[in-house]
């Protein structure tokens, strides 16, 4: 069980030792679990944020009536009326293709919506208006531009000889927080005293170098985070009550408060650990989404991450024998996720906004640029929380919080395995130009290769698709 689930679990957003748990803990005398409740695995408690697949549907008993008004952790009740603006903007054929090629995870379960010959009827979970119906168009036409703040490459003003990324507004989201938060967010890696790399610090450096290169090509660039501090104003101590509530609703009625001295699942099932996760993983992304959607309003967001394989105990981490890369677009929604009304709304909002039509070809161009700049092989998922999409071996669809709630195309990058020994040694050196001696060879900066790959892909995409 450990092998595959451990490796895959850590592929997006890295080795969080705590995330590497898939065991349903046995009820203990101190925290009895009522027989009628099936506890979620620790990793299911905050769904959509990690790689644990839901259990396969093995001859399920007749399901009780589903509660369709639930929200994801810290989720906001959606305004379902917003979907009305998509009336007659998409054909049934286009809708079914998008669902099949991007948004479905292939589960055979009945979804909380039903198809009619000329429309889709979605269950909202709202007792006052339990359904919303979106009529299909009889012929293809895009939604009105006023309904979205982002522009496709084909909608950019003609270049007329200006720098190639002129007018394009690119937001760069440096994944995680880094700095003094790296240990709490389990993104701190050190193989020897006095040295360490932190994913959130590396992504910020990468973002700063990338921003300058894109600006030099004419782009307007915004950083979603520009320092080693959270964007959210909330802290774990503000999230104690929702953390406790989450554990109780997940079948752990008397959770322990603090994780001092605890490891493994016991640590994950404490109010303290859940409140920290709600802080750095959920509240932080909601705050960034608010900034992206209401203030930055970019044409595209590039989410920068560095990947890792399971490194075990953070005080004695293990090297991984290989490094790899993949690029994520939004999609692959699991039934357990779609039971939450905000998640369901956000999926339909993305689908009808046709974000996938811009996201996939841009992701493919960036993946090609990064493949040539980094020479990394493609990562291969073996779990059902991700699905391969399109024709480029590096591209997967996943339902992540960031690529779901940022209301524009999002390309989410996962190159390099930080605990691959040579990669780790390169990353310790930070950003540099040219080559320097690493592990007995002259090597380029991994950060510089990352940036060159992204720039190459973004440039190729806009040069091919925007009016000259
Ligand atoms: Zn990450």
Check residue 28 and report its DSSP letter: B
Task: Kindly report, residue by residue over 270-285, the tens digit of the pLDDT.
Answer: 999 999 999 999 999 9
Tokens of 426: 């390169």
Confidence of residue 365 (pLDDT cuts 50, 70, 90): very high
Ligand 1 centre from 321 Cα, in Å?
A: 19
Check residue 333 and report its DSSP letter: B
Place of tokens 């391969």: 388
Task: Kindly report, residue by residue over 99-158, the tens digit of the pLDDT.
Answer: 999 999 999 888 999 999 999 999 999 999 999 999 999 987 766 656 789 999 999 999
Q: Which residue(s) pair with 263 in the sheet?
A: none
Mean pLDDT check: name the lowest of 1-10, 217-226, 369-378, 404-413. Answer: 1-10
Task: Kindly report, residue by residue over 308-340, the tens digit of the pLDDT.
Answer: 999 998 899 999 999 999 999 999 999 999 999
Over residues 51-55, mean pLDDT: 39
User: What local confidence, expressed as pLDDT, does residue 139 receive?
Assistant: 84
Ligand 1 centre from 304 Cα, in Å?
A: 7
Ligand 1 centre from 368 Cα, in Å?
A: 20
Ligand 1 centre from 208 Cα, in Å?
A: 17
**Residue 349 clears pLDDT 50, i.e. is over it:** yes
Tokens of 241: 């009550």
User: What local confidence, expressed as pLDDT, does residue 124 receive?
Assistant: 95
Ligand 1 centre from 110 Cα, in Å?
A: 33
Ramachandran region, residue 108 (left: φ > 0; alpha: ψ -120 to 50; beta: rest): alpha
Q: How large a percentage of the chain has pLDDT more than 70?
A: 85
Task: Kindly report, residue by residue over 187-196, the tens digit of the pLDDT.
Answer: 999 999 999 9
Ligand 1 centre from 176 Cα, in Å?
A: 6
User: What local confidence, expressed as pLDDT, does residue 256 receive?
Assistant: 95
Ligand 1 centre from 313 Cα, in Å?
A: 18
**Residue 378 clears pLDDT 70, i.e. is over it:** yes
Ligand 1 centre from 362 Cα, in Å?
A: 20
Task: Kindly report, residue by residue over 392-413, the tens digit of the pLDDT.
Answer: 999 999 999 999 999 999 999 9
Ligand 1 centre from 54 Cα, in Å?
A: 22
Q: Residue 392 burial (CB < 10 Å; 0-12/13-18/19+)?
A: buried
User: What local confidence, expressed as pLDDT, does residue 379 receive?
Assistant: 98
Q: How far apart are CA 419 and CA 427, in angstroms?
A: 10
CATH superfamily of 2-27+142-465: Zn-dependent exopeptidases (3.40.630.40)
Ligand 1 centre from 14 Cα, in Å?
A: 5
Of these ranges, 46-50, 52-56, 374-378, the one predicted with the greatest mean pLDDT is: 374-378
Q: How large a percentage of the chain has pLDDT more than 90?
A: 79
Ligand 1 centre from 344 Cα, in Å?
A: 24
Over residues 365-381, mean pLDDT: 98
Ligand 1 centre from 336 Cα, in Å?
A: 23
Closest CA to 374 of 317, 330, 318, 413: 413
User: What local confidence, expressed as pLDDT, does residue 109 receive?
Assistant: 85
Closest CA to 189 of 201, 199, 177: 199
Residue 8 vs residue 372, higher pLDDT? 372
Over residues 450-457, mean pLDDT: 98
**Around ion ligand 1, which residues have CB less than 5 A away?**
13-14, 175, 305
Ligand 1 centre from 177 Cα, in Å?
A: 10
Each residue of 331-363: b (16+ CB within 10 Å) or e?
bbbbbbbbbbbbbbbbbbbbbbbbbbebbbbbb
User: What local confidence, expressed as pLDDT, does residue 93 receive?
Assistant: 95
**Residue 59 clears pLDDT 80, i.e. is over it:** no
Radius of gyration of the chain (CA): 22
Ligand 1 centre from 383 Cα, in Å?
A: 18
Domain boundaries, the chain: 2-27+142-465
Task: Kindly report, residue by residue over 3-22, the tens digit of the pLDDT.
Answer: 333 223 333 343 333 333 32
User: What local confidence, expressed as pLDDT, does residue 6 receive?
Assistant: 28
Confidence of residue 67 (pLDDT cuts 50, 70, 90): confident
Over residues 250-266, mean pLDDT: 92
User: What local confidence, expressed as pLDDT, does residue 44 receive?
Assistant: 53
Confidence of residue 60 (pLDDT cuts 50, 70, 90): low
């Amino acid at each position: 069980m450990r092998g595959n689930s451990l490796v895959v679990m850590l592929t997006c957003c890295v080795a969080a030792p705590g995330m590497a748990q898939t065991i349903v803990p046995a009820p203990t005398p101190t925290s009895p679990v009522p027989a009628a409740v099936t506890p979620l695995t620790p990793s299911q408690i905050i769904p959509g944020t990690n790689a644990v697949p839901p259990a396969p549907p093995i001859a399920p008993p007749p399901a009780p009536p589903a509660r369709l008004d639930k929200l994801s952790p810290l989720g906001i009740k959606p305004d379902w009326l917003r979907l009305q603006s998509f009336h007659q903007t998409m054909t049934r054929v286009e809708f079914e293709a998008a669902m099949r090629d991007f948004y479905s995870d292939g589960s055979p379960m009945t979804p909380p919506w039903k198809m009619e010959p000329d429309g889709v009827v979605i269950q909202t979970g709202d007792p006052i208006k339990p359904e919303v119906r979106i009529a299909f168009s009889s012929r293809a036409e895009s939604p009105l531009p006023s309904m979205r703040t982002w522009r496709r490459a084909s909608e950019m003003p003609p270049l007329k000889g200006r720098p190639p990324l002129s007018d394009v507004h690119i937001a760069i989201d440096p994944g995680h927080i880094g700095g003094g938060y790296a240990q709490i967010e389990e993104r701190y890696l050190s193989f020897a005293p006095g040295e360490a790399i932190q994913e959130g610090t590396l992504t910020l450096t990468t973002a700063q170098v990338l921003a300058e290169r894109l600006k030099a090509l004419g782009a307007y660039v915004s950083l979603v985070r520009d320092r080693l501090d959270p964007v959210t104003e909330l802290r774990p101590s503000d999230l104690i009550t929702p953390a406790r509530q989450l554990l109780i609703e997940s079948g752990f009625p008397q959770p322990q408060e603090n994780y001092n001295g605890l490891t493994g699942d016991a640590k994950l099932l404490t109010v303290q650990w859940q409140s920290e996760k709600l802080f750095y993983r959920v509240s932080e992304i909601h705050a960034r989404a608010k900034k992206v959607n209401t203030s930055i309003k970019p044409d595209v967001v590039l989410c920068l991450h560095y990947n890792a394989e399971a490194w075990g105990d953070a005080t004695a981490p293990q090297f991984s024998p290989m490094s790899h890369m993949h690029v994520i677009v939004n999609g692959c929604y699991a039934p357990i996720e779609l039971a939450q009304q905000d998640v369901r709304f956000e999926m339909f909002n993305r689908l009808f906004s046709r974000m996938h039509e811009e996201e996939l070809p841009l992701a493919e161009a960036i993946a090609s640029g990064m493949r040539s700049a980094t020479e990394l092989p493609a990562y291969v998922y073996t779990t059902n929380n991700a699905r391969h999409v399109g024709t480029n071996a590096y591209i997967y669809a996943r339902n992540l919080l960031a690529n779901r709630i940022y209301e524009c195309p999002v390309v989410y990058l996962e190159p390099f395995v930080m605990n691959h020994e040579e990669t780790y040694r390169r990353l310790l050196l930070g950003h540099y130009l040219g080559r320097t001696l690493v592990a007995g060879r002259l090597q380029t900066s991994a950060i510089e290769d990352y940036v060159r790959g992204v720039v190459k892909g973004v440039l190729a995409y806009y040069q091919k698709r925007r009016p000259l």
